[in-house]
Amino acid sequence: MKKHRTVPIEMNPGEFRTIGHHLVDRIADLLDSLPAHPVTTGESPPDIRKALDASRLLPDIGTDPAQLMNHATDLLFDHSLFNSHPRFWGYITSAAAPIGILGDLLASAINQNTGAWFLSPMASEIEAQTVRWIAELLGFPTDCGGLLVSGGNMANIVCFLAARQAKAGWDVRAAGLHGSKTQQLRIYCSKETHTWVQKAADMTGIGTNNIRWIPTDKELRMDIEILRDQIRADKKTGEQPFIVIGTAGSVSTGAIDDLEEISKLCREEELWFHVDGAYGGFAAMLPDASPELRALSQADSVAVDPHKWLYAPLEAGCALVRDPEKLREAFAYHPPYYHFGVEAINYLDYGPQNSRGFRALKVWLALQQAGRKGYEQMLADDIQLAKTLHELVAQKPELEAFTHSLSITTFRHVPSDLKITSDSVEEYLNQLNTELLTRLQNSGEAYLSNAVIDGKFTLRACIVNFRSSLADIDALPEIVLRIGREVDAELRPERLNIKG
Amino acid sequence: MKKHRTVPIEMNPGEFRTIGHHLVDRIADLLDSLPAHPVTTGESPPDIRKALDASRLLPDIGTDPAQLMNHATDLLFDHSLFNSHPRFWGYITSAAAPIGILGDLLASAINQNTGAWFLSPMASEIEAQTVRWIAELLGFPTDCGGLLVSGGNMANIVCFLAARQAKAGWDVRAAGLHGSKTQQLRIYCSKETHTWVQKAADMTGIGTNNIRWIPTDKELRMDIEILRDQIRADKKTGEQPFIVIGTAGSVSTGAIDDLEEISKLCREEELWFHVDGAYGGFAAMLPDASPELRALSQADSVAVDPHKWLYAPLEAGCALVRDPEKLREAFAYHPPYYHFGVEAINYLDYGPQNSRGFRALKVWLALQQAGRKGYEQMLADDIQLAKTLHELVAQKPELEAFTHSLSITTFRHVPSDLKITSDSVEEYLNQLNTELLTRLQNSGEAYLSNAVIDGKFTLRACIVNFRSSLADIDALPEIVLRIGREVDAELRPERLNIKG
């Protein structure tokens, strides 16, 4: 072996500069030209696999990195769905802040392992500051425990595990769920709760059968009376309620549970109060936020997703636990860490990970670029756009407006001659709107997803997108109607053909 | 609201280019000048917090992004531990491949949500190809199920959950661990197993009490006879063994369990055979890999960490499960996904996450830049360096060589006049080497961590670092001895002072 290795994975500084500059330029061009791209190309798996040459084996011999990066960039630019496109309004995936993109570059270059403070001194402190700032935005205590995680699922699961440990009443970490031979831990949440709760109940050994799915009121908020009755009934039969999950912005319609009432009930019943604010939690920063939403500040734990409404690129979730000791107690196997006699956080004691990357940086940068006022404005604008869409839709005779809450608006296409409700009409309208949505998505003109409300298949626009403007929203109803009329002309069954 | 929003988080293309180019240049300069930097500055938490202005509240008003990025870069370049430094050999954190850094930039820019295929068509297919290539490297079936996750802990936990579901014998996801009123699931692994197994047992509701810590032989490998006896004894008392975890490269010394024997035993006893190959798994690609290591190809599941020995920047772990259905069955709530009539993977059905980023890209790029042969060479060189270090250390009268396995070498400083073993000498040697290590780490000259072997505190070099050369290794013994002699001169108790 020679004194100095030759290393096939290395790049010399000149190469790094050249390839890096070129990539930055291509990204700048892409972001600038997004409105001219389709949101997605709507290709099939075989199309994509062919473009990738998916069946190729791992090459024995290396490839020139410049060529490789260019090829990767081509593949991704030509065959991706752009959630940073001004007309992407599907699911809850936000446009990525440019400073977050550059933040990820810096984070990757500095390659800090934020599992341990001494391996990542500045990065760990930046993460701690980011957590405090997020708490500040939410009105949550800034001396809470918290950390950045991969997303909403993991943020919620981390909080859920803190609740399990705090409320089980036996040493559940050591003894497992078997530790109590008699009692069954019970979870309470509304029927509108995101699927993370199933994964949490399942993964943590409690089991999805032990989720009490509480019905919702007409505005799709958890029914507090039913919740109270269920908790009391379960206690009477010797079961062990331990957590109530309030949702701050449901995935489907943006419904916000009455967090104030849930908080009160949890205090009365001595249960852990967790808020899933993955989507809507950040709206609590708005000056006109409702008291029901602001009450997330009273929770024992809150999950939020900076990669949603703080516009961070994927991935960035954040778990906050009011009492930092409760978070430590759920994960740590070490006493608190002191360095030079001063306490510092080893994040491996606060969550499931050991080695950890530096997700906080992009969030920390974006928070400072926009400032609190900047975020207030952007969130308010997203909400205003959703409201405007709801109004526009309500004005169109062939569109039926359903819900608007936070930045989610739901509606559907109803041909003018099908306004009279019947089971067969409803069935057809579901079929019509399902096909309409598929065609809209594949068209690349705009991207919506769907929500099923009272059995009705609706189109759903969720605007967590700082690139969407009024012009984009204005254009949507006509696009939907054009495709809807096409679909209707093709699909309408004879028996419903009462047009004339 | 205006037709076109003004957005405080946006950057115009010119800004993005300028800031991006400047950042690329600074990173290139840093990587080029790393050998001239200390590995770490060894600052205290108050130092770091002062530099960060940690107590500052979130600003109301935004900041110029160019200024912000420069400030962030300054903070991180001036106050970080560089695991990409040629003399970083602590824990198991690798140097970051430059193409991986640029890959993270591209991944962040394209911002694909790889939870669902249709949201990330090319990214999902690149992830699938990356998984196949990793399987190929390991000699594992390429039609296995697998996905990229945040790191070794999560990769192991994903496999562990697949095992729990496959082997419990009741519907553990729905009914929880309470689902079996009588039987206790049992986990088997050696005492040298990484702490992930505690987090896994704890988080999944089985409980850490149900880990059977099997003793190791003199080479710190799991004792197969004791393992067999324990499994049979537990079965006799009505307990339910379900998983045996073999380690391919222990954290402490790089010990490799006899995976062939464990595999046989698991077949006999009908247990899930999982291999934690987070550190050493990739060494199975080497032409001279031992049969004991290569037998990881027989496992039901394997966890590896591309952010270790594939030199990917954090984060990139990878979980592989031989039978893809077993992975789906542990996580999915949906039937297999078809798009245009062709099956495609929605990765949210394969792991704990819902929204997911695009970790695979950096791994996919690095695999191609180096090629299989390139990786074989780099891993072999890392191992050779560790072996050379072991030899160098053995030649020094004041250093005592302990173990060498894979790319980990352990040794300690033993002053020439303290060669006669006694309890008080051993106690002092532990104290001496502990202080030596702290000073070495804080000096920034090189970075080791430690391993405790038979109660002896040893210095531990783990070389997963393509930047380390023979010259770096050559320099280490003298650095250690210089600091060791200083410490010895200060700390030696009078009663051991038999020098002169």
Domain that holds residue A406: 370-496
Tens of pLDDT, residue by residue over B356-385, are 999 999 999 999 999 999 999 999 999 999
Which of A91, A208, A369 shows the shortest C-beta gap to B65?
A369
- Put simply, the answer to whether A368 touches B62 (Cβ < 8 Å) is yes
- pLDDT number for residue A23: 98
Residue B395 sits in a domain of what CATH number? 3.90.1150.170
- pLDDT number for residue B181: 65
Helix, coil or strand: residue A207? coil
* Residue A234 belongs to a domain: yes
Tens of pLDDT, residue by residue over B221-274, are 999 999 999 999 999 999 999 999 999 999 999 999 999 999 999 999 999 999
- Put simply, the answer to whether B207 touches A381 (Cβ < 8 Å) is no
Residues B200 and B59 in one domain: no
Residues A76 and A126 in one domain: no
- pLDDT number for residue A335: 87
Chain B nearest-CA residue for A448: B119
Residues A233 and A155 in one domain: yes
* Residue B303 belongs to a domain: yes
* Residue A6 belongs to a domain: no
Residues B296 and B431 in one domain: no
**Residues in A touching B355 (Cβ below 8 Å):** 92-93, 151-153, 305, 307, 314-315
- Which of B357, B386, B409 finishes a domain? B357
- pLDDT number for residue A367: 98
Residues A377 and A445 in one domain: yes
Name the residue type at position A34.
Answer: L
- Put simply, the answer to whether B122 touches A343 (Cβ < 8 Å) is no
> What is d(CA A148, CA A38) in angstroms, rounded to the nearest whole number?
33
Digit-by-digit pLDDT tens for chain A (500 residues) are 666 788 999 999 999 999 999 999 999 999 999 999 999 998 999 999 999 999 999 999 999 999 999 999 999 999 999 999 999 999 999 999 999 999 999 999 999 999 999 999 999 999 999 999 999 999 999 999 999 999 999 999 999 999 999 999 999 999 999 887 667 899 999 999 999 999 999 999 999 999 999 999 999 999 999 999 999 999 999 999 999 999 999 999 999 999 999 999 999 999 999 999 999 999 999 999 999 999 999 999 999 999 999 999 999 999 999 999 999 999 999 888 888 889 999 999 999 999 999 999 999 999 999 999 999 999 999 999 999 999 999 999 999 999 999 999 999 999 999 987 799 999 999 999 999 999 999 999 999 999 999 999 999 999 999 999 999 999 999 999 999 999 999 999 988 876 54
> What is d(CA A331, CA A350) in angstroms, rounded to the nearest whole number?
6
- Put simply, the answer to whether A62 touches B93 (Cβ < 8 Å) is no
Tens of pLDDT, residue by residue over B301-350, are 999 999 999 999 999 999 999 999 999 999 999 888 888 889 999 999 99
Task: Give the percent of chain B with pLDDT over 70.
Answer: 98
- pLDDT number for residue A500: 43
Closest CA to A404 of A353, A363, A463, A333: A463
Q: Which of B354, B364, B373, B468 to mutate to test the interface with A (most CBs of A within 10 A)?
A: B354
Which of A43, A57, A110 shows the shortest C-beta gap to B80?
A110
Residues A227 and A324 in one domain: yes
Name the residue type at position B479.
Answer: I
Tens of pLDDT, residue by residue over B134-171, are 999 999 999 999 999 999 999 999 999 999 999 999 99
Residues A148 and A220 in one domain: yes
Tens of pLDDT, residue by residue over A281-332, are 999 999 999 999 999 999 999 999 999 999 999 999 999 999 999 999 999 9
* Residue B97 belongs to a domain: no
Q: Which of residues 143-162 of A touch B (CB under 8 A)?
A: 150-154, 157, 161
**Residues in A touching B97 (Cβ below 8 Å):** 9-10
**Residues in B touching A40 (Cβ below 8 Å):** 118, 121
- Report residue B300 as tokens: 């039901």
**Residues in B touching A158 (Cβ below 8 Å):** none
- Put simply, the answer to whether B173 touches A29 (Cβ < 8 Å) is no
- pLDDT number for residue B358: 98
- Put simply, the answer to whether B315 touches A121 (Cβ < 8 Å) is no
The answer, for B10 touching chain A at a CB cutoff of 8 Å, is yes
DSSP state of B295: G
The answer, for A98 touching chain B at a CB cutoff of 8 Å, is yes
**Residues in B touching A39 (Cβ below 8 Å):** none
Residues A375 and A354 in one domain: no
- Which of A358, A380, A404 finishes a domain? A358
* Residue A125 belongs to a domain: yes
> What is d(CA B178, CA A402) in angstroms, rounded to the nearest whole number?
42
* Cα torsion angle, A348, A354, A358, A360, sign: negative
- Put simply, the answer to whether B152 touches A354 (Cβ < 8 Å) is yes
Residues A329 and A392 in one domain: no
DSSP state of B339: E
Name the residue type at position B135.
Answer: A
Helix, coil or strand: residue B266? helix
For residue B484, the distance in angstroms to the closest alpha carbon of chain A comes to 21
- pLDDT number for residue B119: 96
Name the residue type at position A363.
Answer: V
**Residues in A touching B56 (Cβ below 8 Å):** 129
The answer, for A205 touching chain B at a CB cutoff of 8 Å, is yes
**Residues in B touching A127 (Cβ below 8 Å):** none
Q: Which of residues 31-50 of B touch A (CB under 8 A)?
A: 31-32, 40-41, 43-46, 48-49
* Contacts of the segment B430-439: beta carbons below 8 A, 24+ positions apart: B430/B455, B430/B456, B430/B457, B431/B491, B432/B484, B432/B487, B432/B488, B432/B491, B432/B492, B433/B457, B433/B458, B433/B459, B433/B484, B435/B487, B435/B491, B436/B480, B436/B483, B436/B484, B436/B487, B439/B483, B439/B486, B439/B487
- Which of A304, A323, A358 finishes a domain? A358
Residues A184 and A229 in one domain: yes
**Residues in B touching A118 (Cβ below 8 Å):** 40, 81, 441
Q: Which of B93, B355, B378 to mutate to test the interface with A (most CBs of A within 10 A)?
A: B355
Residues B22 and B165 in one domain: no
Residue A126 sits in a domain of what CATH number? 3.40.640.10
**Residues in A touching B104 (Cβ below 8 Å):** 104-105, 107-108
Domain count, chain A: 3
Chain A nearest-CA residue for B196: A354
> What is d(CA A409, CA A420) in angstroms, rounded to the nearest whole number?
23
> What is d(CA B285, CA B294) in angstroms, rounded to the nearest whole number?
8
* Residue B203 belongs to a domain: yes
**Residues in A touching B305 (Cβ below 8 Å):** 355
* Residue B132 belongs to a domain: yes
ipTM: 0.97
Tens of pLDDT, residue by residue over B380-412, are 999 999 999 999 999 999 999 999 999 999 999
**Residues in A touching B14 (Cβ below 8 Å):** 28
Q: Which of residues 279-308 of B touch A (CB under 8 A)?
A: 305, 307
Which of B51, B128, B354 shows the shortest C-beta gap to A196?
B354
The answer, for A471 touching chain B at a CB cutoff of 8 Å, is yes
The pLDDT of B279-288, averaged and rounded, is 98
Give the position of tokens 């095992």.
B163
Residues B166 and B282 in one domain: yes
> What is d(CA A159, CA A189) in angstroms, rounded to the nearest whole number?
14
* Residue B72 belongs to a domain: yes
* Alpha helix (H) residue ranges in A314-422: 324-331, 360-395
